[in-house]
Amino acid sequence: MKLEVCVDTILSARRAAEGGADRIELCSSLKHGGLTPSPGVVATINEIFKGKRGEKPTRCSIFVMVRPRPGDFTYSEEEVVSMCSDIDYAASLGADGVVFGALTRGGKVDEGVTARLVAKCKEHSLGMTFHRAIDLVHDWREALTLLSKLGVDRVLTAGQESSAFVGLRTVVEMVRFVRENDLGMTVMAGAGINAKNVLEFLQTAEEGCELGSLVDIHGSFKETVDSEANYSWRADPNRDFGSHWVSGSSQIKSAKQIMESFCKNIKTRDPIPRK
């Protein structure tokens, strides 16, 4: 079971690594659900994680969001070409994997587009996560089966609800479906999970199925940072260029410790029979 932290700044990436995250999902513009980050940010974080900027090297891996715009996940040919180029640049800058999602207008996984993105990832031996576009499909069983056939490693989901807690039953059903059909992929639960409730989530999910290595946890673990800059936007004083959200290393560390303890506990007790 791994902990992935969703970040959109260099500071958040540093804090994720300091807190013991296994992986970051690197985006820009989290307020839009996450968009493709700039090459400079990807390169800088890769240097930090490899210890080229004074820090100790970290084992935290970097998965880069490949999403060219806000809005839906149905893309034009030009957008798909740009996404393939973004995968090339992510690989060249040291990313370990990428995150993407593409749907048809009818609410199914776009097999043609997804196959192209998967093929591009395989050119560079990149890991692959299909993001929460999975929560918009009409038939998630069909979607998981197709994504497994195409070679996607994991899906990020809130069980087709606003948060992973609300969608917990579906998350558990997804884990069962993946296991029972030997799909060979990981279900990663995300949205609304934090250090205060991750144990409750895991315990409740474990009652529904044996989680094992089929579940990862995803969160942003946000906290507010106030700016020390002494200036403001005079034309619009209500516009805030000061405080902003970053990931909190203490929250991440706490969540990671809770997850590790939980995994140790379930390994030492009698296994739950698989259905």
* Residue 263's pLDDT band (cuts 50, 70, 90): confident
Q: Quick one: CA torsion of 203, 4, 248, 40, rounded to 10 degrees?
A: -170
Q: Mean pLDDT, to the nearest integer, of 132-156? A: 98
Counts for the chain of helices (H) and strands (E), in that order: 8, 10
Residue 230 pLDDT exceeds 70? no
3-state SS, residue 110? coil
Tell which wins on pLDDT, 185 or 52. Answer: 185
Instruction: Give me the pLDDT at residue 223, please.
Output: 83
Query: Measured between alpha carbons, how far apart are the two ends of the chain, in Å?
Result: 20
Instruction: Give me the pLDDT at residue 209, please.
Output: 66
Architecture of domain 3-220+251-268: Alpha-Beta Barrel (3.20)
> Tens digit of pLDDT for each residue in 200-218?
999 888 876 666 657 899 9
Residue 275 pLDDT exceeds 50? no
Instruction: Give me the pLDDT at residue 58, please.
Output: 92
Q: Mean pLDDT, to the nearest integer, of 92-113? A: 98
Instruction: Give me the pLDDT at residue 213, please.
Output: 57
pTM of the predicted protein model:
0.91
**Percent of the chain, pLDDT > 70?**
89
> Tens digit of pLDDT for each residue in 7-56?
999 999 999 999 999 999 999 999 889 999 999 999 999 999 999 888 88
Residue 74 contacts residue 137 (beta carbons within 8 Å): no
Counting Cβ atoms within 10 Å, is residue 237 exposed (0-12), middle (13-18) or buried (19+)?
Answer: exposed
* Residue 146's pLDDT band (cuts 50, 70, 90): very high
User: Where is average pLDDT lowest: 90-99, 156-165, 236-245?
Assistant: 236-245
13 closest CA partner among 50, 1, 31 = 50
Residue 162 pLDDT exceeds 50? yes
141 residue type, one letter? R
Cα(183)–Cα(43) distance, integer angstroms: 33
